[in-house]
Amino acid sequence: MSITAVKKWSGIKNTKNKVWCTSLLIAMLLSGCVPSVPSVDKAENTPPSSEMSAVSTPADTQPAGNAEKLRAGTAPAKTEPADPVILKYYNYFVEHHTLVDNRIFTVNENTLQDDIIYFAFMNTEPADGKPANIRTKKQIDDVLMKYFGIKPKRYSTGISGAASNGDVQLGSVIEDVVRVHRLLLKQLTDNGDGSCSAVFKLYQIPTDGARPDFDRRILERDPEMETYHRLDVKTTFTGVPEGGSYYLKFSEFTLIPREGPFAPPPQETDYSKKVSPAELKSFHGLSIGMTLDEAKKLLNLPESAYEYHEDSYADYTLVNADGWSYTFRTPSKEKSDDKSQYLMSINIREFPDVIFRGIKLGDAYADVIKKFPSGKEEGQLLGSPDSYFTRDYGFASTLHAVDIFTGDMHIFMLFGMYDTLAWADIYSSDS
């Protein structure tokens, strides 16, 4: 399903419109916490392209593309080989790509059932004689118990349906996602009870237009590859022997929200209170009404990052930083001589950063709506001060929108496929 939303600010159009989509991550390997066994290649886990084969990192080999930089004097003269333990874990996920090429999610009691079912389909094959988009309930139960020790709460979800004969059917045939994921060990702790805790850096690599030799570049710490470092993942797991190999069973699997370069505002936990303007600060500490000059001090970006525009109505500036988009604008030229530009809108499209009240992209509609005084539609008028208004678009049962009006500001949240938060916008009511 493709969703497009366009917001206008009195003739100003914000063209940035990225739809965030999630990808599931699973399975970690740490040498001190798993049985020592030889590597086993499995046909069903063959990486989707030659780029995804296991990699090694000889000490004197430069990442692809560094030769020209070296001649230009912009590349380091030598890169360090990857630590053997880091390399072992990295190769594990290259060889077992189906465990990570999925929607990102956190495993807990609130985990979306869509994600659980999707993971089960990605890591099983159809039973003999069954179509590609069919699994049995037993297959789903077995793979989820193996890796998480859980079973689905339900088999009929936004992406699947259950039949009376015990089969579960997905809406369409499962295919590899359009991005591959890489996990680079950052921190490892042996818990002393047979389990390990670890933090991994998560890299999301697009399959179309991927940079040459990206595996080697990541392992050799090529600074250019940091543009693909999206989040970190915290996990606790136990290595379980399986034949001549092993697998990892998780008791914790959590995405770590990014920390902005500022002291974030307190997250309101009393959901009977209306949203206050003090809660609505961005990842960078920006708030609606701030001047462009004030924002530049917090963003600390090169001047080339700012897109300046003007028309007969107002002068305005667009800037994107770390997955957040900001629009600044002067007052109407017809009504004011004020040349200062003020922050009129904040938009988040890409990363599951905490926005306010602990809400992040990817959160379920049912969980988000609980964090406001009222999730009811009746008696609330769109655009009236201090109102909370939810609506269903009607053409898809899992597509909701939430409008929140604080008087000075308008918050808009759109829930797309799988009933999860796809993006959030905060606007000045004067926009």
State yes or no: pLDDT of 343 exceeds 90.
Answer: yes
> Which residues, in sequence order, are CB contacts of 145 under 8 Å at separation 6+?
151
CA 244 to centroid of chain Cα atoms: 35
Indicate the helix (H) or strand (E) that contains 84.
helix 84-95
In terms of DSSP bridges, do strands 195-206 and 229-242 run parallel, antiparallel, or are they unpaired? antiparallel
User: What's the pLDDT score for residue 7?
Assistant: 33
Rounded Cα distance between 117 and 127, Å, is 16
pLDDT of residue 9: 38
Write the pLDDT tens digit of every residue in 173-200. 666 566 788 999 999 999 999 999 999 9
Instruction: Report pLDDT for 102.
Output: 67
What pLDDT does residue 66 have? 35
Average pLDDT over residues 300-328: 93
- Report pLDDT digits (tens) over 101-153: 766 677 877 788 888 898 899 899 998 888 989 999 999 999 999 999 999 99
**331 pLDDT higher than 50:** yes
To the question of pTM greater than 0.85 for the whole model, the response is no
Q: Which two tokens stand for residue 430?
A: 């004067």
| pLDDT computed for residue 80 by the predictor | 52
Q: What per-residue confidence (pLDDT) applies to 384?
A: 56
427 vs 3: which has the higher pLDDT? 427
Cα–Cα distance for residue pair 49/156, rounded to 1 Å: 33
At 63 the pLDDT is 36
Among all chains, which residue has been given the structure tokens 């379980």? 240
Question: What is the model's pLDDT at position 24?
Answer: 35
